[in-house]
Structure 1
Amino acid sequence: DEQQVPTEPQWESKAPARLSSSTNLKQGMQQIGQEAQESDRKNLRDKDEENSADQEILSIEAGAEMSCEESSLVFSATPGLLFEENEHIKTHPISLSWAFGYNSSLPVYSLLDEEQRVILYVSSHSAVIHDVHGNRQYHLQGHSNSISCLCISEDRRWVATADQGPDNLIIVWDAFSGIPVHTIFGSHPEDGVGAIAISQDAKYLVTVGASKIQRVCIWKWTSPEDKPMFSIELPPAFGYQSYIVFNPKNHKELVSNSKTQVLFYMWSDDTSGLHYSAPPLTDRTFDKTVGLFSQSVFHFSNLQALTATSGGKLVVWDIVCSPSRPASLCVKPHNMKAIKLMYVQKDALTVLTASDSYFVTCDVKGHVKFYDGQLQLVNWYSHFKLGPIQSISFSKSPPRPSSNNSNYSSSCTINSQPFIIRNFILSTRDATVLHFTAKGSKLDKLMEEAKEAVNAIACHPSQPLIAIGSHCGLLKVWDYMQTKYLYSRIFMEASIQCLAYDPKGTFLVAGFSDGSVYILDSISLEDDCKEFKYSRGPVTHISFSHDSQYFATADEKYSVTVYRRILKNGERTWEHLAGVHSHYKAIRNIIFGVDLDSDQPRLLSLGEDRLLVEYDLGSSSKDNLAILRRDRIEQSAVPLCLAWYPPFTPEAFILTANNKYKMKLYNATTKMCRKSLLGPTYGSPLEKIQILPAANSQDPQKRYLAYITKDKVGLQILPIDGNPHKSLAFICHPGGVSNLASSYDGCHVFTAGGNDRIVMKWELNINALEATVSLGGEDLIPFYNLLDGGRDGEFFRELEDYFYYAQLRSQGIDAMETRQVSTHIPLEEVPFVMRAMGFYPSEEKIEDMINEVKFSEYVDTGKQVTNINLGDFIKLYINHRPAFGLSMKEIQNAFQVLGYSSKNGEIVINRGDLLEQLQCRGEHMTEEELAECLTTLLGRNPEGEISEQGTYDPSGAAALIEEEIPEEITAEIFTADILGLPIPEPDNTETGKNYELPNRIGSAES
């Protein structure tokens, strides 16, 4: 109970107190001057240094990696410059324009108050400067990983951000202009940065690494040096140090803490460097339960420090020296000890900071309390009704002098004076941001976002609306053009997994983790009918038919369920039609299409089981969902996404993308693979694709595709042809992107970050994308560049030789007639040239390649193509070969699956088992075919000897195989001795890296 908190501290002490008797900051500074050692007094900041700090920072052009134009912008920048109307012209094809949500595990800072309420927070890999009153955002983008920590200077001018992961960065930004003024590369190469702080004079940064053995570094970021001034490693026994702060009176003193250990640091310019001490504190120290540490702070008027704990206590630290020890040796940090353990409340403290002459605490109940220098309670706010508070940030400007202070609340002291403090920003762990105006005690809610993962997003088909659903049950609808929140609803029963609008925009359907499906009115979000619960597991996908008469869902139990709209009792309503367990692995997508002959809806589903299933809606009845056909569309790759291809030709196609970075076109009727193409290769395969709607003024032959990979969002120009310049991608959610949606006009795409709880709005600039394509060259130029050595390289000359040699083969090697040299070769020669160039396709892939060329002109001419020229062959080769060749790791993984451990501990495959597997599994090989391949690989069978002379000798081939191939085969023997491929160096293999063998060796299928 708040009223039971005593105004006098309950001291629990084993050492004399050294708290100052005065709470006045000026008197406290005088006391420091009297009590501090000479070394401490040298470290205090004088007024001249304070006035020159910003001038020093603003004159670091040589070390801040800025151009002259940028440095002048920084020097002349003023608050609010970011949001001037004359914005820079956006030249990127994809630009981040808004972030819905923020990282509630990091603090939210107040940059500007009063008329311009501007706050700073983190959304995924960018820091966001948000003008709340102006409804504008500016994004500080530069990190490729999610930002792990940030801090701001006391004058709100400089923002420092850091991240964790590969190629981690520390970036210092000018908050007035948004320009990055200094970047530190590889500061903590192990795992990145776990905590960061900036000194009171803004000249120094301190970072704490995030690795198991943490490293604390002091940086003078205004210097061009890229190395820390000082660094020191911390033993893992101290726990993960997640919080650190400078002493505002002395930037050479710092304090950090983990949940179990507080550390004090001091550094100097001499050779002594950076030192730390770890004063012990356990439950036995004061015979009281301490709890876990949350945050620490230096006392504003003496040499002490405080630490807040989860037990509702404040630990008081001070310099303690034995009487026998000389006073000159009693200095920080080694003499800091816990002298008090003060109980202030029963609830866990989450935040501890200092503002002016007050200590401020926040707790798990959402309470904010203010204490004076003697740790006596001065005032508190317990009526906010908030969750656990994550951070508090006070405005830069102190309260304005006024003759009338009646609008301020009164302190709880005996004098009951007006309690005059700065305005502050509160952020909670459940993703709520509030602004508190001290004058009038007014609390305004600035943001209330999802507190759990966000996977469900859907755009309205005709209005600028986006629906966002989270695992916490919160469903919000935004006007994304005005970036205005419109309405919301909270579902307490289960988590929202997916959302979909019907094509007319009347209904919004939500799928939940418990398998239930809600059909909502798209405006009021009220139930249109009673919820359905026919899915066998969490609903993962929802799709509507073009006429809004059907919608289908897919769930995690590999089932597809269909619902239809019917007329019942004179009213239109929805009913459950039927469901079927149509896949045996995860369903990746379900889509409705249109039968061009009857205008009836078609429904297809695609699963990781490589099956494309089409359902017969016309023949389906209540509780019986008929399946029209099942087609296995991949041999070894796993299909990941599905879409209807735009009608560029009279032939209708279905577009898929798989985990081998290939995109494929299938005939919508026969399901024959008509074309295989190289897809975007940006670190991971495509996870979801969506054809952007065509704008009214857009050329019908110019369409675009949006896609997401593991952590990127990208654009692809259609029609696809394998040209890598026709696509690009940008990092959107480094922790993983879970969903994609596009606006009805095709001008924006939206990405959901899943566990990062953020949805990002991306503005598209198609003209910039088209310009990128033109810079890459036309016709065959982009494809030449994908060959080793390019157009003038040895690989291309070798290809030409094989191409013309294939003409000789087709006319007969021993023919005496005059040769007919042309620019084409027969299709029958394509597999031989492919294998000669080092690409060994399976028989199914050969059939796909032949069909791709054979039927390429059939729709237009009614005739089959029987030959191919060199240019088309190059495109065919590049689009069908493996995107990254075969790696040694793939071969080793195959041996892990098929082999066993030998006596030497190596993974091996028995020779007989290998021969049996080759003949019986996958694409079966006859004994003659296998013998021919192995004898050829071993150099004992010149080309064509068996096939042309018909002299296959089973006993001779078997003897040769036994002689050349050992009884137990390792991955290295198979690679080097049988296939004749290079092997990485042994020391490199031990690192576990995925070493790429030359691209010419072909695919893993061979």
Structure 2
Amino acid sequence: MSAAKVKEEYSESAGGVGGEETEADTQKMTGQSQVYTATRDTLFPKKITHTRTHALSLEWVFGMNPALPAYTLQDHDQLVVLYAGAHVGVIYNHTSNSQHILQGHCGPISCMCVSEDRRWIATADQGLKSTVMIWDSYSGIPVHTLFDCHPEGGIVAMAFSEDTKHLVTLGAEGVQCVCIWDWTNETDKPVWFTELNPEHGLQDYIIFNPNDSTQLLSSSESQVLFYSRAEGSLQYSTLEPKKLFSKTSQTVELASGSFSQSVFHWREPQILTATAAGSIVVWNLEDSAANQSLCVRTKVVALQEDPITALTITDSCIVTGDTQGCIRFYDEAFLLLTWYNELNLDAIVSISFSKECTEGYLEDCSLEAKPLMISRVFETERQIQCVTFDPQGLYLAVGFGSGAVHILNASTLQSDPEECFHHTDDSIHHITFSLDSKYLATADAGKAVTVFRLQTNKDSSPRWVYMGRYRSHYKPITDLLFGVHLDSTQCRLLSLGMDRRLVEYDLENSDVNKLLILSSERIEQSAVPTCMTWYPLLTEELFLLVASDQHKMKLFNSTTKMCRKTVCGPTYGSPVQKTLVLPRSEEPEVNSYYLTYITEDKVGLQILPLDGNPYKSNALICHPSGVSTFACSYDGLFVFTAGRSDCTVLSWEISINALEAAAALGGKDLVPFYTLLEGGRDGRFYREMEDFFYYCQIRHQGTDSMERRQVSTRIPLSEVPSLMRALAYFPTEQEIEDMQNEVKFSKYAETGKYVTDIDLEEFIKLYVNHRPVFSISSNELVEAFDILGARDNTGQPVLQRNELLKLLQARGEHMTEEEVGECFTTLLGLDEEEQEEKAGGGGGEQSEHDIYKSDSGESEYSLECAIPDEISLETFTGHILGFPSSAKQSGRSSPPE
């Protein structure tokens, strides 16, 4: 439905601002748009029925963005308010305790406004592409969207005109732009706009004159600008604050940065500006003109001592809010009418009044406040970093930025002084209880794990004691996890670090002040693990699920720590940051397990078991500015996400049926995996894969064999590495071992036998899951040369030939001299005759071992001639690897700073 049609229908039905529909009108327009037929009661029906069509649906928003204003939409029969949280707008009905959530933005909401009659809502986000969405507040339906309004910086403020026909947006660019849009017409360009001089400071507030829509004002902390439309253009002038006069005609000098909000007077041609000094500046606009600078002699009215932080006009009254949470009403002569100073509020950010009629109002409109939960202030500690309840709900553990750990009574929030521990000055980042509530473990910024144990004595009540702190990692710890041994009830504790090590602690043999390590395994080569969780018992083995920054998920045998399966994880922008297995449903028809996870800014669901099928995963944006953590409800029906800086917690309702339906639409068996191959099932790449697969059978039987060929649908595992390389995926030796172990032990727990061969379908799954999700970028090559190389006389990073050859033999998976020689012979296209010619035609037979002899001091006759002493990035990628120059690809002409 077009915005023009919306405006036309709205004007006809409302008869102007604030009009009401009649029953005859509703009947006449049967079958018309939902926006036209909507009333104030449409958004919150008495009987609500939900049909969930998405795997995750935003069900409730806890908290709000404190930097943005809140607006009253209704307060007659129902109290309805509007506010923003994260990337959504929230219409909250206090009367029915229900929410309608305005979803549509991908970035955090930066500003919003409402029309004078509260029928229309405009919201804007910030990010690479700023978007403005206009909503019908009666139905909650978006009626118009403006894309890329201020692409260079987003939108910092906006407002509707009095007749709601126009919308003004104020950009946050380096050179700010003010745009006026006729949103009721299908247009993607503003009807008026102007750019502001940066000398005026960052303007962050703008409104229309309610008496004249051709006039506007904007303000910053130090400057007020007045706008007018004249001769088809938008012009502005500055209101100079240098010489201001009080009522006593005394000159008043205002401190820089003292302005807060400004409003137009409801009758006089004046602008009122609130200041941090508790006064009001009155600007007289009778003789104003739209010049570049306008010096107006006006007056300052001192109202109060506290700084004024909010200013608005309602019913011929001037209303102010200040830093002490006090709200005051003044008449036109600035005489105090009434005030509210016992609200126990923080500084007032905004004030909003309903525009409904006053007939039939309740005598008492105050809200009944329900008593909070018990609270406690920690005055001696620095910033709470993490909290957790124990599984039985008896204790609440709190980790502080000071390194302290307090174990509180979950009912009273009080603690025994002996159970307030401070064994490190490093900030606590992770804290968790064991499943039996007998152990508590923390991980801190010092890369160490600390363990506490609940000690029980017959003669005294249980108390927590310190067992020890172990610096088990040399890089930050990413996760901390308790578990139970598969064949016993003995508690286990594992930590995972960015050093790629998985450490298990020996809790059974540890004692007070004696924390022991059971094992420490390196589980990754280049990927950095981000989180871990216990995989459900879908087989007879117990696995540990570990996600990494390379968008992979791996299953490790919980005892041997052997990698038993590798699959592609969700690829929704950023890697998985944390995972949880949902509690299994009690419904008999639901048999599957499900995994929930968060990335940098998204929350998602995954169907188990993991197999790499992309259609079994679903995710959506939850906190555009970053999600810090999440949790699921005890019944697995809801997921809760907490934002980092947006001050909100979001509740997401899970629909397993919608998730399963989406997976079913992706196809069965191997169909979803064909989509991951270039060209799909009918493409050239798949045909080449088939050819290589069956060639491996011939190669295994011997290419020179004259015997009758044994045709089979399977190839031995020994051929898998060669087949992977033929498809341009070059796995490391560790990756080859992981692939072979994955197939070899795939059925061992059930049959007790190894699998020694693989068919084409199994190979396709193995290939798409093990190959890198993203290829190496030119920036990564540039970064590698910056780290490993030295600067030449032009400032470019270069590697010495001898240094490169030594690195290949000493770093990563070590290569032998023979392997180095063979690789360079192949890459450079050298054969034995060319080697002899380049060596000066010397006689005698040479072996591959003689190609490279740098350490022994003998001549490197082939590599000396083929590779220069200094290897630049262009030489390495172009001459040796045969790729286009990475420096040219990345557009770089100079080394990084």
Q: TM-score, normalised by structure 1?
A: 0.80
After superposition, give the CA deviation of every residue in 1:311-357 in whole Å (9 maximum; x if it has no partner): 22322222365xxxxxxx95689757352233333322111111121
The residue that corresponds to 1:23 in the other structure is none
How far, CA to CA, are the matches of 1:692 and 1:277 in structure 2? 60
The residue that corresponds to 2:343 in the other structure is 384
The DSSP-based 3-state class of the residue aligned with 2:268 is coil
The residue that corresponds to 1:964 in the other structure is 866
- Work out which of the residue numbers 168, 175, 179 in structure 2 matches 1:206: 168
Q: Given the alignment of the two structures, is residue 282 of structure 1 paired with residue 171 of structure 2, yes or no?
A: no
The residue that corresponds to 2:282 in the other structure is 316
How far, CA to CA, are the matches of 2:235 and 2:790 in structure 1? 53
Post-superposition offset of 1:991: 12
Structure 2: stretches of 5+ with no match in the other structure? 1-10, 22-28, 246-250, 837-844, 854-858
The residue that corresponds to 2:405 in the other structure is 517
Contact 2:215 2:226 in 1 (8 A): yes
Cα 1:369–1:916 shift into 2, 3 Å: same
Q: Which letter maps to 2:622?
A: C
Contact 1:535 1:559 in 2 (8 A): no
The residue that corresponds to 1:533 in the other structure is 421
Cα 1:88–1:896 shift into 2, 3 Å: same
Cα 1:858–1:180 shift into 2, 3 Å: same
Post-superposition offset of 1:990: 5.2
How far, CA to CA, are the matches of 2:709 and 2:780 in structure 1? 44
Q: Which letter maps to 1:315?
A: V
The DSSP-based 3-state class of the residue aligned with 1:294 is strand
Alignment of 1:942-981 (within 5 A): 951-954=848-851, 958-981=860-883
Post-superposition offset of 1:486: 5.1
The residue that corresponds to 2:506 in the other structure is 616
Q: Given the alignment of the two structures, is residue 551 of structure 1 paired with residue 440 of structure 2, yes or no?
A: yes
Contact 2:408 2:414 in 1 (8 A): yes
How far, CA to CA, are the matches of 1:542 and 1:278 in structure 2? 55
Q: TM-score, normalised by structure 2?
A: 0.90
How far, CA to CA, are the matches of 1:110 and 1:87 in structure 2? 26
Contact 1:122 1:128 in 2 (8 A): yes
After superposition, give the CA deviation of every residue in 1:385-417 in whole Å (9 maximum; x if it has no partner): 42211011112235448xxxxxxxxxxxxxxxx
Q: Which letter maps to 2:595?
A: L
How far, CA to CA, are the matches of 1:124 and 1:607 in structure 2? 30
The residue that corresponds to 2:96 in the other structure is 134
Cα 1:135–1:897 shift into 2, 3 Å: same
Alignment of 1:161-200 (within 5 A): 161-200=123-162
Higher relative contact order (CA closer than 8 Å, sequence separation 6+): 1
Q: Which letter maps to 2:233?
A: G
Contact 2:244 2:253 in 1 (8 A): yes
Alignment of 1:629-668 (within 5 A): 629-668=519-558
The residue that corresponds to 1:871 in the other structure is 761
How far, CA to CA, are the matches of 2:863 and 2:199 in structure 1? 59
Post-superposition offset of 1:360: 1.4
Q: Which letter maps to 2:242?
A: T
Q: Given the alignment of the two structures, is residue 371 of structure 1 paired with residue 330 of structure 2, yes or no?
A: yes
How far, CA to CA, are the matches of 1:916 and 1:223 in structure 2? 69
Cα 1:255–1:187 shift into 2, 3 Å: same
The residue that corresponds to 1:25 in the other structure is none
Contact 1:217 1:230 in 2 (8 A): yes
**More moved, 290-299 vs 217-226:** 290-299
- Work out which of the residue numbers 226, 229, 246 in structure 2 matches 1:264: 226
- Work out which of the residue numbers 103, 127, 132 in structure 1 matches 2:65: 103
How far, CA to CA, are the matches of 2:505 and 2:292 in structure 1? 74
- Work out which of the residue numbers 689, 705, 709 in structure 1 matches 2:599: 709
Q: Given the alignment of the two structures, is residue 572 of structure 1 paired with residue 456 of structure 2, yes or no?
A: no
After superposition, give the CA deviation of every residue in 1:187-218 in whole Å (9 maximum; x if it has no partner): 11112111111111111111111222211110
Q: Which letter maps to 2:878?
A: A
Alignment of 1:454-533 (within 5 A): 487-494=374-381, 495-527=383-415, 530-533=418-421
Post-superposition offset of 1:54: 5.8
After superposition, give the CA deviation of every residue in 1:344-393 in whole Å (9 maximum; x if it has no partner): 33322111111121121211122222222233433333333422110111
How far, CA to CA, are the matches of 1:210 and 1:892 in structure 2? 34
Q: Which letter maps to 1:152?
A: V
Cα 1:959–1:216 shift into 2, 3 Å: farther
The residue that corresponds to 2:308 in the other structure is 349
How far, CA to CA, are the matches of 1:601 and 1:915 in structure 2? 48
Cα 1:765–1:620 shift into 2, 3 Å: same
The residue that corresponds to 1:411 in the other structure is none
Contact 1:318 1:336 in 2 (8 A): no
- Work out which of the residue numbers 692, 701, 704 in structure 2 matches 1:802: 692
Contact 2:593 2:608 in 1 (8 A): yes
Cα 1:70–1:624 shift into 2, 3 Å: farther
Cα 1:964–1:275 shift into 2, 3 Å: farther
Contact 1:907 1:970 in 2 (8 A): yes
Post-superposition offset of 1:601: 0.9
Contact 1:529 1:573 in 2 (8 A): no
Q: Which letter maps to 1:189?
A: P
Cα 1:50–1:831 shift into 2, 3 Å: closer
The residue that corresponds to 1:455 in the other structure is none
Count of residue pairs brought into register by the alignment? 854
How far, CA to CA, are the matches of 2:667 and 2:234 in structure 1? 56
Contact 1:301 1:373 in 2 (8 A): no
How far, CA to CA, are the matches of 2:846 and 2:570 in structure 1? 46
Post-superposition offset of 1:273: 1.3
Alignment of 1:404-483 (within 5 A): 443-444=366-367
- Work out which of the residue numbers 980, 983, 989 in structure 1 matches 2:891: 989
The residue that corresponds to 2:259 in the other structure is 293
Cα 1:982–1:819 shift into 2, 3 Å: farther
Q: Given the alignment of the two structures, is residue 719 of structure 1 paired with residue 609 of structure 2, yes or no?
A: yes
Q: Which letter maps to 2:277?
A: G
How far, CA to CA, are the matches of 1:330 and 1:719 in structure 2? 71
After superposition, give the CA deviation of every residue in 1:486-533 in whole Å (9 maximum; x if it has no partner): 554444444332222222233332222223333333344443774321
The residue that corresponds to 1:73 in the other structure is 34
How far, CA to CA, are the matches of 1:283 and 1:865 in structure 2? 89
Post-superposition offset of 1:958: 3.5
- Work out which of the residue numbers 709, 712, 718 in structure 2 matches 1:828: 718
After superposition, give the CA deviation of every residue in 1:679-706 in whole Å (9 maximum; x if it has no partner): 0000000000011111222568510011
Post-superposition offset of 1:49: 11
The residue that corresponds to 2:86 in the other structure is 124
Cα 1:93–1:955 shift into 2, 3 Å: closer
**More moved, 694-703 vs 102-111:** 694-703
Cα 1:251–1:215 shift into 2, 3 Å: same
Contact 1:279 1:338 in 2 (8 A): no
Cα 1:720–1:768 shift into 2, 3 Å: same
How far, CA to CA, are the matches of 1:679 and 1:202 in structure 2? 47
Percent identity between matched residues is 49
Contact 2:240 2:295 in 1 (8 A): no
Q: Which letter maps to 2:237?
A: S
Cα 1:217–1:70 shift into 2, 3 Å: farther
Contact 2:595 2:607 in 1 (8 A): yes
Q: Which letter maps to 2:827?
A: L
Cα 1:759–1:159 shift into 2, 3 Å: same
Cα 1:951–1:529 shift into 2, 3 Å: closer
Contact 1:53 1:203 in 2 (8 A): no
How far, CA to CA, are the matches of 2:445 and 2:553 in structure 1? 25
Post-superposition offset of 1:639: 0.5
Q: Given the alignment of the two structures, is residue 841 of structure 1 paired with residue 731 of structure 2, yes or no?
A: yes
- Work out which of the residue numbers 800, 809, 813 in structure 2 matches 1:923: 813
Post-superposition offset of 1:782: 0.8
Cα 1:984–1:396 shift into 2, 3 Å: farther
After superposition, give the CA deviation of every residue in 1:435-471 in whole Å (9 maximum; x if it has no partner): xx9x66x754779xxxxxxxxxxxxxxxxxxxxxxxx
